[in-house]
């Protein structure tokens, strides 16, 4: 695995108005990695994603992607740089077809010319989406909707994809199916993953960051973090 840095978040503070939500957050994602961000609800995980995606701008610190400072860029500019998101709750267009939802993901300038190529790749990863390409998104099962959300994220031809709450509300079978595909995706795209299933995320990821109340309290290789007493007590009950 290459250890070339793809994304570097350095000492960011994030506020909503006068309310500080993140304090001195630093995070690195290297090319080809799966990085897990673990924390309870309200710990700041979604705000961290929002800062990377340009939805909220840090008051202090910096965010670099492929050695370019993207701290002050807007979301459409972030997508154009090569970062996409699979949002919590999927946020599909329920009355549009599977194919129409996928095409929405290809509107970034660099992805337009590769639309058919990317669509073919998504269908290879998720054959069920091709089978259901004319169905409305709202008629899909939960697992199929998550496949569609990931497929839409891939249609922008990203180098980095942020996946927020991958397995939320899904059956164990659907979760297993999606993780199988993620193992394929990571060969081409770096992944930062927020996941409620901590044991699964620590199994699938290379490195992890533990966030509590807006602070990174632990980080490292997952095999090391599994041995941390604090992690065992908080997430494994041992």
State pLDDT tens for residues 143-185: 999 999 999 999 999 999 999 988 888 888 988 999 999 999 9
CATH of the domain at 57: 3.40.50.300
Beta bridge partners of 173: none
Give the count of domains, the chain.
1
Q: Establish if 134 belongs to a structural domain.
A: no
Q: Establish if 66 belongs to a structural domain.
A: yes
Q: Establish if 26 belongs to a structural domain.
A: yes
Q: Establish if 196 belongs to a structural domain.
A: yes
Please state the pTM of the whole predicted model: 0.90
Task: Give just the sign of the alpha carbon dihedral 141, 183, 53, 202.
Answer: positive
State pLDDT tens for residues 67-121: 999 999 999 999 999 999 998 877 898 999 999 999 998 887 777 888 999 999 9
Tell me how far apart the alpha carbons of residues 182 and 100 are, in angstroms, rounded to a whole number. 23
Burial class (CB in 10 A: 0-12, 13-18, 19+), 60: middle
Domain that holds residue 237: 1-82+192-238
């Amino acid at each position: 695995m290459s250890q070339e840095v793809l994304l570097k978040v350095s000492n960011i503070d994030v506020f909503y108005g006068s309310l500080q939500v993140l304090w001195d957050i630093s995070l690195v994602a290297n090319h080809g990695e799966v990085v897990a961000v673990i924390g309870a609800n309200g710990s700041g995980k979604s705000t961290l994603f929002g800062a990377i995606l340009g939805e909220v701008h840090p008051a202090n610190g910096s965010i670099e992607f492929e050695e370019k400072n993207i701290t002050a860029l807007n979301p459409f500019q972030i997508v154009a740089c090569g970062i996409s998101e699979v949002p919590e709750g999927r946020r599909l267009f329920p009355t549009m077809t599977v194919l129409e939802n996928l095409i929405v993901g290809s509107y970034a300038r660099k992805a337009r010319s590769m639309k058919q190529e990317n669509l073919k790749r998504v269908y290879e990863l998720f054959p069920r989406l091709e089978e259901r390409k004319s169905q409305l998104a709202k008629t899909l099962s939960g697992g199929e909707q998550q496949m569609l959300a990931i497929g839409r994220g891939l249609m922008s031809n990203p180098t980095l994809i942020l996946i927020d709450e991958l397995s939320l509300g899904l059956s164990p079978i659907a979760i297993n199916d999606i993780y199988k595909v993620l193992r394929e995706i990571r060969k081409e795209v770096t992944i930062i993953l927020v996941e409620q299933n901590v044991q699964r995320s620590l199994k699938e990821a290379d490195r992890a960051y533990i966030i509590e109340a807006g602070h990174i309290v632990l980080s490292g290789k997952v095999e090391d973090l599994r041995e941390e007493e604090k992690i065992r007590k908080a997430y494994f009950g041992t």
